[in-house]
Amino acid sequence: MSGIRTGPSLPRSRGPLSEGLIRCLRDGGPLPDPARAGDADPYGDDLQLALYVCYELHYRGFHGVRPELEWDPPLLAVRAALEDRFLTALRRDATEAAVLDDLLDGLLEEPVRGSGVSWFLQDRGELRHLRDYAIQRSLYHLKEADPHAWVLPRLSGRAKAGMAAIEYDEFGGGRADRVHARLFADLMEDLDLDTAYGGYLDEGRAPMLALVNMMSLFGLHRRLRGALVGHFAAVEITSSPASRRLAHAMKRTGAGPAAEFFYTEHVEADAVHEQVVRRDVIGGLLADEPGLAPDIAFGITATSFLEDRLGERLLADWQA
């Protein structure tokens, strides 16, 4: 059947929700009851893996899974229940009563000495830590910028033009060898890792799955376009200094030229993107739809919340 051989293999399940969903995609068994999502840990392995698998049907799918299941109504009902559980938790845990401009200014504040993952990798990281970090980030970086492309039809004018300009850079400026997903695959080669798309899904920790799921959630729903723009702003504004630290970590450990280049490229590119996203993407969107300011703020705080959860998990695992 056409298209059935594309995509990575289905992952191993991590609980009843993901087990039922994966079994349905693999063998045609019954889907899990959507009501079971209401009792699941919204940030746990089972729900996040199940939601990731649902979303991947909108990217490259899975080997052996029929492409038409992307829009299967019963499967979409399960996805909607998973999304509701996840989004409700994010709105509860990651919404701050803060002015949008204050949040954006806060993203620019860099501590003299930080304690997050990029600081650890810069100062003390070993190749094993860098390899584990790359494995986790591969779940996003091998599809880098794809979730954000979904917002383009939902924008207009200055916001659309600014977003498209940044996406053009992310997709290599018309050069296949400069597509950022390709550059990350080159980084993985330097670290002796498998570069296959989705090859490390089974190794993905729940906080990393949640980060990628948040991008897909915001990108696939027009009502969440403001949150997607806020998330995108948080990533672009904070990327340059963190990338500088990661480039230093790659150089210090001798990870390889491609590994170092991926982050030096982001130091330069994202320093420019930071200005465009704030001036044109956010500025243009608010000029058109000023009522989206709270949604943009939510996208920023949700991103920080999930990034902090991932950082805490990685550091705890590495220091155990």
Instruction: Round to whole Å and give the CA distance between 264 and 255.
Output: 14
Distance of CA 261 to the CA centre of its chain: 21
Instruction: Round to whole Å and give the CA distance between 30 and 298.
Output: 36
Tokens of 100: 């949008």
Query: Can you list the alpha helix ranges (DSSP code H) found in 60-192?
Result: 73-93, 100-107, 117-123, 127-141, 146-149, 157-170, 180-190
Instruction: Round to whole Å and give the CA distance between 102 and 97.
Output: 11
Residues in the chain where the model's pLDDT stays below 70: 1-5, 111-112, 270
Three-state secondary structure call for residue 63: coil
Per the listing, tokens 């498209």 go with 164
Tokens of 282: 């956010």
Rg (CA), the chain: 19
Identify whether the C-beta of residue 65 lies closer than 8 Å to the C-beta of residue 11: no
Q: How many CB atoms lie within 10 A of CB 175?
A: 9
Instruction: Round to whole Å and give the CA distance between 167 and 169.
Output: 5
The whole-number pLDDT of residue 61 equals: 97
Distance of CA 39 to the CA centre of its chain: 25
Length in residues, the chain: 320
Identify whether the C-beta of residue 82 lies closer than 8 Å to the C-beta of residue 51: yes
Instruction: Round to whole Å and give the CA distance between 313 and 305.
Output: 13
Q: What are phi and psi of 121, to 5 degrees?
A: -65, -40
Instruction: Round to whole Å and give the CA distance between 93 and 57.
Output: 28
Query: Residue 74 carries which side chain, given as an amino acid letter?
Result: P
| Degrees to nearest 5, angle at CA 274 with 272 and 156 | 100
Query: Residue 162 carries which side chain, given as an amino acid letter?
Result: G
Sign of the CA dihedral with 35 first, then 36, 42, and 47 last: negative
Identify whether the C-beta of residue 89 lies closer than 8 Å to the C-beta of residue 43: yes
The whole-number pLDDT of residue 270 equals: 67
Q: How many CB atoms lie within 10 A of CB 164?
A: 13
The whole-number pLDDT of residue 113 equals: 72
Helix (H) or strand (E) holding 238: helix 225-253
Instruction: Round to whole Å and give the CA distance between 241 and 263.
Output: 10
